[in-house]
Structure 1
Amino acid sequence: MKNILFVCTGNTCRSCMAEAIFNSLCDLEDIKAISAGIAVVKDSKTSENSALVVKENIGLNLNDRESKQITKEMIENSDLILTMTSYIRDLLVNAFPEFKAKIYSLNEYVLLETDVVDPFGGNIEVYRQTYKQLKNSILLLLDKLKKI
């Protein structure tokens, strides 16, 4: 089993959406995604708008999903770590230099130039845009993984 770890700030918006999108679209055997945040607030859950957009698009209920703080064990057990921004990538590379070879920003890995902007605090349309951006990047990711 190969594990992909998506990472954002609080694991309430981008990375949990990326996890849901990846796992719903992935038709590759033995690959699954998980997600975590670098600064998770205790007892936080998936944001209401993230849960709504995921429910609208893939029918998955994330309302009661608890956010997860990234751990060294998660990094060790992941084959590929994809962050939502180059800043988060750099933080992880600095904290865990021994795992540098498997840490990238999502869009860097699929040869796109922009970061995935945090929709936190935005209206539902901002979350829908983030979902579309993530889905596009994940489709490119799946194409790349199929060629490896």
Structure 2
Amino acid sequence: MAVSNEQLTDTTGIQIKKDAFVVIVKTTWNNHVISVLEAGCIKILEQHQVNFKVLEVPGAFEIPFAVQHYFNKATKKPDAFIALGCVIKGDTPHFDYVCEGVTQGIMQLNVTLPVPVIYGVLTVNNQLQADERTGGIHGHKGEEAAAAALHMMALSQSII
């Protein structure tokens, strides 16, 4: 049974601390897609009065570095990171290397950092598939990433 975008973005009853803080790390590559993901992400965060900061990196491969570096250097530690990117397949194997690298990098951060790093990176074959995931038939992955961050922050805070 398919899950609807409304189910994936339902944050009813989620309780997070009052001063929750999220860092969104977004790529400038494929900005026409990223700006839509970012808008959906921010919409959900603002609905929950979550403070956030946005960092820009050139491409998806650089996301794990930015997350790790921010966490290591910042005095105000975030409660979660949200990684937003879009890798569209081309004619070379570059797509495979970038997708694998960013996926493994974000997974590694999730097992080493004490805060969640949400995977909001689209890995698609073409622009139509990106459009279908930014408010189209496959929902809005920016909104879903923000909802996932809220869920994971609530989980993390409930365990402490």
What interval of TM-score do these two structures reach, taking the shorter chain for normalisation? 0.3 to 0.5
Highest Rg: 1 or 2?
Answer: 2
Query: Which has more strand, going by share of residues?
Result: 2
TM-score (norm 1): 0.43
